[in-house]
Amino acid sequence: MQLKTSLTPEYLARILDLKLRARAVLEGALAGWHPSPFHGYSSEFSQYKGYVPGDDIKHLDWKVYGRRDQLVLRQYRDETNASVHLVIDTSASMGYRSGAFSKLEYACVLAASLTLLAERQRDAVSLAQGGLDMQAFLPPESGPLRTRELLSRLESLSPEGLTDLETLFAEVAPRITGQSFVFLFTDLWQDPAAISAGLQRIRRKSRTVALVQMRTRDEVDFFDEGSYRLRDLESGEELEVSASQARSAYLMAVKEHAEAMAKECSGLGVRLIPVRTDWPFDAVLRSILPRI
């Protein structure tokens, strides 16, 4: 991933309003990028669109070009209106931070950016939230009123409770409409097989699924040296560790978990996208947009 420095977490933390943060991230991510991320699969013709460099030439209408000497693309019904489903893990572990943003706060900025993009393209967007189960759901709608409501909901989210992604995903799946674009924001601190069971239900209802794995620098690299008292944010259990003694075993466990999770996602056709909360927002948003 090519990381730009203009929208680092430290820089974006100076902007207090979520909508302004999201707008800055969206504009940075889409700068110089022509494709519409949520378009591309239906067979029902809807309208023509003028060609611009970077568009997929497979939809060029050569008959129109022959008659008018004009390059146009054929767009289809589902290309003009898609459904975007945002699912955010709000369990207590998502409240951990080792920089300017917690995992949950970082995820909310990304989700808000996707919401603004959906509004710009007149696409419906929904929001599901929860940890142990689905605690709230806003059904898919489009327009400025839905955007304001969803951004307000994102600003009010707080991390609490336990994690059960299998149950959360299973409860979200029946709410997904049509062949939608689904973005799941979670730290994935659970058994990969259990997560996969819930993912299967969502994958069957969706066009594409992006599983955005939120982690902090500490969780990825661990600590180099020193003694620490670690506390599980969900269970409250505490453990005294020596970083030099525990680091090797910790990194091995994280590596094995990542490999198992990657295998499960590959088998389901789910895009697994590891994200760190110290990475620039615009580069991260661009990496999670659909690759059609």
* Nearest Cα to Cα of residue 180 among 202, 200, 213, 198: 202
pLDDT at 36: 66
pLDDT at 181: 94
pLDDT at 179: 72
pLDDT < 70: residue spans in the chain:
1-5, 32-36, 38-49, 51-62, 64-66, 69, 72-81, 291-292
Q: How many Cα atoms are found within 13 Å in the side-chain-facing hemisphere of 196?
A: 14
| Distance between CA atoms of residues 71 and 284, nearest Å | 33
Q: How far is CA 224 from CA 240, 243, 291, in A?
A: 15, 6, 37
pTM: 0.83
- Please report, as a single letter, which amino acid is at residue 227: S
pLDDT at 4: 45
pLDDT at 144: 93
pLDDT at 80: 47
| Domain coordinates in residue numbering, the chain | 9-35+82-287, 45-78
Say if residues 181 and 82 touch (Cβ distance below 8 Å): yes
pLDDT at 44: 47
CATH fold for the domain made of 9-35+82-287: Rossmann fold (3.40.50)
